[in-house]
C-alpha cells in the first residue's frame, strides 16, 4: 500500500516574502504562487503535496485589519478538511497580531497553521525567505504516529518555531525578527528539526470549532512620567470604547491618585472593561505586588498576566464579538483559549 503524502496549502496574503525583482522596471512585484516550485525548486524534495493560493491583491502588513483576519481564517476553514496543514505567508510587521487572532478563531485545533515571512524578498540573493518557507512547510507536513506534530497556530522564523500568541516582533532589520519572551520555543531547526514536545499544545477535545468575528471597540493608554489627569479622563470617558487597555509600568503599576481611581471605578460600573498590561515584553502583571496594583485590582481592573499586547488585543476583539454580556467577556479575558497565558492550565473557549 502506497503511503499517502501530506497535503499542505500555502496561503499568500502579502508581505516581503512574495516579492521578486521585475527586470522591466527595476521594481519588486508579487510573483505567481501557482509557480512556487519554479521559484523555490527545493520544495520538490519535500515529501508532501503542495498547493498555493494567493490573494488577488496582496496586503501590505501595515494595512492588515480584522477583515483580513477573517478572510484568512475563512479561507483555511473552508479548506480545512482537504489539507493536513497550512502555511500562511504574511508581512512581518503585523504577523503576531494576525497569527494570534487565528489562534483564537480555531478552537481545539488539530492541524498546524504555520505563519512565516521574510525580511528580504524571496527573489533576492541573500533572502531569508527560502529557508523560512521550506522549513515552515516541513513543519506543517511533519507527523508522528500518524498525527501532526504541531497542532496549533505557530510562527516560524530564523530557525525558531514559536507559539503564535506568545510572539512579538522585535527587529525591523535582523533576520531573527521575532521573540517569545514568556514561553519557550516549540522547535529549533538545525540539521534536524528538534521539537520541544512538552511545550506543544495538545487539543483536549476532538471537535475543532471555528469562530470568525471581531469588535474593534478597544483603545489603549500608554502611561509615561508626566501624563496629565485631564488626558486620562478624556480617554476613560470615551463612550464608544468597550475595553480600555492600560499599558503600565513594570508588574502593572501606574501613578495613582483618588481622582483617577474614582474615574476607573465609575467607568467599570458603567460596563467598561479595563485591563492592566505591562509595557515590559517579559514578565507578567501582578497587581498584588505593590499598593498601586492592589488599588487597581480593588477597583475592578483585570490584570492581563503575561499575555502579549498582540494576543490581548486580538483576543479582546474576538470576545467582544462573541459574547454580549460584559460579565462573560471579563471572565473569558483570563480564560486560556490556546496557551496564551502561563499562569493557568491550557483551556479552550466555551460558552
Rounded Cα–Cα distance for residues 141 and 156 (Å) = 14
Closest C-alpha among 168, 108, 18 to residue 348: 108
pLDDT tens digits, 318-340: 999 999 899 999 999 999 999 99
Active site residue 98: no
pLDDT tens digits, 65-117: 999 999 999 999 999 999 999 999 999 999 999 999 999 999 999 999 999 99
What is this structure's pTM? 0.93
pLDDT tens digits, 121-153: 877 778 888 899 999 999 999 999 999 999 999
Task: Cite the DSSP H helix spans in 63-109.
Answer: 66-78, 95-105
pLDDT at 227 over 70: yes
pLDDT of residue 284: 94
pLDDT at 286 over 50: yes
Segment (H or E) for 137: helix 129-141
Return the CATH number of the domain spanning residue range 7-210: 3.40.50.1170
Fold matches, 7-210 and 218-333: yes
pLDDT at 300 over 90: yes
Question: What is the residue-averaged pLDDT of the chain?
Answer: 91
What is the mean pLDDT of the segment spanning 21-27?
69
pLDDT tens digits, 196-212: 999 999 988 889 999 99
Closest C-alpha among 177, 179, 197 to residue 187: 197
Cell 501595515, located at residue? 62
Rounded Cα–Cα distance for residues 173 and 158 (Å) = 13
pLDDT of residue 33: 73
Q: Can you say how many angstroms the Cα of residue 273 is from the centroid of all Cα atoms in its chain? A: 22
pLDDT tens digits, 150-183: 999 999 999 999 999 999 999 887 788 899 999 9
**In residues, how long is the chain?**
351
Question: Beta-carbon neighbour count of residue 77 at 10 Å?
Answer: 17
pLDDT of residue 27: 67
pLDDT of residue 179: 95
What is the mean pLDDT of the segment spanning 36-60?
88
Rounded Cα–Cα distance for residues 193 and 233 (Å) = 51
The CA R_g of the chain, rounded to the nearest whole Å, is 21
| Burial of residue 41, with CB atoms counted within 10 A of its CB: 0-12 exposed, 13-18 middle, 19 or more buried | exposed
Instruction: Spell out the CATH class of 218-333.
Output: alpha beta
pLDDT at 344 over 60: no
Instruction: Indicate the domain borders of the chain.
Output: 7-210, 218-333
Amino acid at each position: 500500500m502506497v503511503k499517502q503524502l501530506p497535503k499542505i496549502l500555502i496561503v499568500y496574503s502579502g508581505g516581503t516574502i512574495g516579492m521578486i525583482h521585475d527586470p522591466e522596471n527595476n521594481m519588486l512585484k508579487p510573483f505567481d504562487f501557482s509557480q512556487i516550485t519554479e521559484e523555490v525548486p527545493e520544495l520538490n524534495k519535500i515529501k508532501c503535496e503542495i498547493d498555493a493560493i494567493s490573494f488577488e491583491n496582496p496586503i501590505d502588513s501595515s494595512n492588515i485589519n480584522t477583515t483580513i483576519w477573517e478572510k484568512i481564517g475563512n479561507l483555511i476553514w473552508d479548506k480545512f478538511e482537504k489539507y493536513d496543514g497550512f502555511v500562511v505567508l504574511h508581512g512581518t510587521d503585523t504577523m503576531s497580531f494576525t497569527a494570534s487572532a487565528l489562534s483564537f478563531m480555531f478552537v481545539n485545533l488539530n492541524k498546524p497553521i504555520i505563519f512565516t515571512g521574510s525580511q528580504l524578498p524571496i527573489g533576492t540573493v541573500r533572502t531569508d525567505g527560502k529557508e523560512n518557507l521550506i522549513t515552515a512547510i516541513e513543519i506543517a507536513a511533519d507527523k508522528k504516529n500518524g498525527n501532526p506534530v504541531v497542532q496549533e497556530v505557530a510562527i516560524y522564523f530564523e530557525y525558531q518555531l514559536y507559539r503564535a500568541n506568545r510572539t512579538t516582533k522585535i527587529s525591523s532589520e535582523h533576520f531573527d525578527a521575532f521573540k517569545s519572551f514568556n514561553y519557550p520555543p516549540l522547535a529549533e531547526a538545525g540539521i534536524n528539526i528538534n521539537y520541544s514536545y512538552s511545550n506543544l499544545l495538545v487539543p483536549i477535545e476532538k471537535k475543532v470549532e471555528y469562530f470568525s468575528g471581531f469588535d474593534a471597540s478597544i483603545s489603549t493608554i500608554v502611561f509615561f512620567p508626566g501624563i496629565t489627569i485631564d488626558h486620562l479622563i478624556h480617554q476613560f470617558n470615551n463612550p464608544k470604547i468597550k475595553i480600555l487597555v492600560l499599558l503600565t509600568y513594570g508588574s502593572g503599576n501606574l501613578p495613582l491618585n483618588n481622582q483617577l481611581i474614582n474615574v476607573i471605578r465609575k467607568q467599570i460600573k458603567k460596563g467598561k472593561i479595563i485591563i492592566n498590561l505591562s509595557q515590559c515584553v517579559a514578565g507578567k502583571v501582578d497587581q498584588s505586588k505593590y499598593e498601586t496594583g492592589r488599588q487597581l485590582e480593588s477597583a475592578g481592573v483585570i490584570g492581563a498576566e503575561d499575555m502579549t499586547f498582540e494576543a490581548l488585543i486580538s483576543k479582546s476583539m474576538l470576545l467582544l464579538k462573541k459574547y454580549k454580556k460584559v460579565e462573560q467577556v471579563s471572565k473569558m479575558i483570563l480564560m486560556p483559549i490556546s496557551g496564551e497565558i502561563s499562569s493557568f492550565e491550557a483551556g479552550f473557549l466555551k460558552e
